[in-house]
């Protein structure tokens, strides 16, 4: 076996039986003593690892993704269409709730109030022509200029009217408190039988100049529960 001196690079032969790892050798040229370490042959390079191959998305997965997209789009369409239909249905229901409620003795006038100045008053009575009782009838009133442009719009639960004296001396806050008095509203605007009437009054404080006309309409009413209607009927009979 050929041995190479690590100091002077001299080469010489050594019997194989003596060439054991770690054995002490001495160079005959430079006299250097060194331990023999056999050269480790480089390991043969194996084949390069296979590069990952990008697999195409299976057709089944593509189909599932497509179906999912369609489902989301369809869900959005359904939400918006049903939402619009629900709103339209609600308006139709309200129209049915008030179609047999009529108004009488509707009038408008001005009152000079001591605290707020001029007050525009709209008042009248709602008549229930439904076969069943109604309650919590709500009015919407508006004042317009000569071009029919709304100057002010106001909603009001029926059930209360103020006297002329109250309209002249009470403050705006006091008048609104009277018109929205829950006790009066519950007394006059619940369990209204067929042919029954509910008074109403809407006030516009310090109305703008140029009021040419007014409008008033019924915008809401509730059905009375059968239990409440029966109780009301029983109390009427007891009287």
Query: Which domains are delineated in the chain?
Result: 2-36 (no CATH), 94-226 (2.60.40)
Q: What does each C-alpha distance from 239 to 40, 57, 138, 183, 201 come to in angstroms?
A: 121, 83, 29, 22, 30
Query: Which residues of the chain fall short of a pLDDT of 70?
Result: 1, 12, 14, 16-19, 39-89, 226-239
Given this model, what pLDDT does residue 37 score? 75
φ and ψ at residue 181, rounded to 5 degrees? -65, 115
Given this model, what pLDDT does residue 92 score? 80
pLDDT per position as a tens digit, 112-161 = 999 999 999 999 999 999 999 999 999 999 999 999 999 999 999 999 99
Q: What predicted TM-score, i.e. pTM, was given to this entire model?
A: 0.59
Q: What does each C-alpha distance from 158 to 4, 142, 220, 231 come to in angstroms?
A: 118, 16, 10, 22
Q: Kindly state the tokens that stand for 134.
A: 């109604």
Which residues, in sequence order, are bridge partners of residue 220? Answer: 138
Given this model, what pLDDT does residue 112 score? 98
Which residues, in sequence order, are bridge partners of residue 113? Answer: 117
- Counted residue by residue, the chain has a size of 239
What is the distance, to the nearest Å, from the Cα of residue 99 to the centroid of all Cα atoms in its chain? 31
User: Look-up: residue for tokens 């480790």?
Assistant: 40
Separation of first and last alpha carbons in the chain: 135
Q: How far apart are CA 133 and CA 191, in angstroms?
A: 5
Q: How far apart are CA 222 and CA 192, in angstroms?
A: 10
């Amino acid at each position: 076996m050929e041995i190479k001196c690590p100091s002077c690079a001299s080469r010489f032969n050594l019997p194989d039986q003596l060439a054991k790892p770690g054995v002490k050798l001495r160079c005959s040229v430079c006299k250097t003593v060194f331990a023999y370490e056999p050269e480790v042959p480089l390991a043969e390079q194996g084949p390069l690892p296979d590069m990952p191959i990008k697999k195409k998305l299976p057709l089944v997965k593509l189909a599932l993704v497509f179906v999912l997209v369609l489902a989301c789009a369809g869900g959005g369409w359904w939400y918006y269409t049903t939402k619009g239909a629900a709103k339209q249905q609600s308006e139709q229901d309200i129209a049915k709730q008030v179609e047999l409620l009529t108004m009488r003795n509707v009038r408008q006038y001005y009152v000079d109030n001591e605290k707020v100045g001029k007050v525009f008053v709209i008042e009248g009575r709602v008549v229930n022509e439904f076969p069943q009782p109604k309650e919590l009838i709500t009015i919407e009133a508006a004042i317009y200029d000569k071009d029919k442009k709304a100057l002010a719009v106001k909603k009001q639960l029926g059930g209360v009217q103020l006297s002329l004296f109250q309209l002249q001396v009470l403050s705006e806050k006091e008048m609104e408190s009277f018109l929205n008095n829950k006790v009066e509203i519950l007394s006059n605007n619940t369990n209204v039988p067929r042919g029954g009437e509910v008074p109403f009054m809407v006030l516009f404080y310090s109305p703008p100049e140029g009021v040419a006309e007014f409008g008033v309409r019924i915008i809401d009413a509730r059905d009375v529960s059968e239990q409440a209607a029966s109780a009301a009927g029983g109390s009427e009979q007891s009287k």
